[in-house]
Amino acid sequence: MTQSSAALRNALIAASILVFAFGAATSATAQSYPHNTVKMIVPTTAGGAVDAFARGIGRRLEQTFGITVVVENKAGANGVIGAEFVARSPADGSTLIVIFPSHVLNPLFTKNVPFDPINDFAPVIRIGNIPLILVTHPGVPVTSVADLIALAKAQPGKLLFASGGVGSAGHLSGELFKFLSKTDVQHVVYRGNAVALTDVLGGHVSMMFDTITTGLQHTKDGKLKLLAVTTAQRSPLLPDTPTMSEAALPGFDTSAWYAVLAPARTPRPVIDMLNAELNKAFADPAFRDQFAAQGVQFVGGSADDLGAFMRNETKRWGEVIESAGMKAQ
């Protein structure tokens, strides 16, 4: 045997040993799962939809697997602090995170995000969506989305839309409205949806894309005008309210969406085990009833479905953001 042949043989043997060792470690990790304690990271403050989903899912995993799920709120930097913690955690299924749209969109608005929102995480399952609603102050002389578009075109740069933060679902919905309607509506950013909604109620800002859970009651009280819901299908909470697509802008589809991720390289058997159990949960009426009042539209599906969705969201919003002339700061 020549020296080069022997070197090649030794290299192949070494590679085979590494593959076998990795496979054995992965198998051992999967067989020992679930762990006695699992951390569920919430990258926001306590309260709100992200926190509610984490606690609901945590209870389900505790009941099914007989484990302890500890929900930890690691808020800050639009979800970056909690996500960075998870990205650096062991890839064994012991640490999970519930995310919202900002997770994949932060790099589009902020330079030097300390992780890759796609490649540094393993998708587990898409939870679902909470629709937004387009509302205006009663003083705005419109009764439909078509009226609003006509008014915006007649008064370029004069109408204002509020949002609870750059990159929030409300902000992105406003940018998509501008993009599809080819109108000039100015964005007014606030530190949270509650403050933004207060200024719309006060007539200081013309309009807002707000979550259905916080804005709906104000429309029932006559303090805001309800024009449309933002999802592709009508909301069960508002069966008589048209979607943005039906009203005037075909292809308009936005929502506050939520998903579960794990650190990258988490063994696929672990991902599949979690995915299967959570799909069962999302189909369980008892579980779904916990969130019915929030108008949640559960999605579920495979881990690969979520991965494809996240990549598509990054591409879709990248195009909208580029059209709006916004750049990462």
Q: In this structure, are 40 and 104 located in the same domain?
A: yes
Q: List C-alpha distances in Å: 286 to 52, 281, 290, 322.
A: 15, 9, 7, 43
Q: Is residue 15 one of the residues assigned to a domain?
A: no
Number of independent structural domains in the chain: 2
Q: In this structure, are 43 and 185 located in the same domain?
A: no
Q: Is residue 27 one of the residues assigned to a domain?
A: no
Question: What residue numbers bound the domain in which 125 lies?
Answer: 33-130+256-323
Tokens of 307: 């991965």
* pLDDT tens track, the chain, 329 positions: 555 455 445 544 444 444 444 444 444 445 567 778 999 999 988 878 889 999 999 999 999 999 999 999 998 888 899 999 999 999 999 999 999 998 998 898 888 999 999 999 999 999 999 999 999 999 999 999 999 999 999 999 999 999 987 788 899 999 999 999 999 999 998 877 888 999 999 999 999 999 888 889 999 999 999 999 999 989 989 999 999 999 999 999 999 899 999 999 999 999 999 999 999 999 999 999 999 888 888 999 999 999 999 999 999 888 888 877 777 77
Question: What is the 8-class DSSP label of residue 45?
Answer: -
* Nearest CA among 251, 258, 226, 248 for reference residue 239: 226
CATH of the domain at 71: 3.40.190.150
CA distance 153 to 157: 9
End position of a domain, from candidates 196, 212, 247: 247
Question: What is the 8-class DSSP label of residue 281?
Answer: H
Q: In this structure, are 303 and 292 located in the same domain?
A: yes
Q: Is residue 13 one of the residues assigned to a domain?
A: no
Q: In this structure, are 156 and 96 located in the same domain?
A: no
End position of a domain, from candidates 222, 247, 272: 247
Residue tagged 């779904």 (tokens):
288
Q: Is residue 1 one of the residues assigned to a domain?
A: no
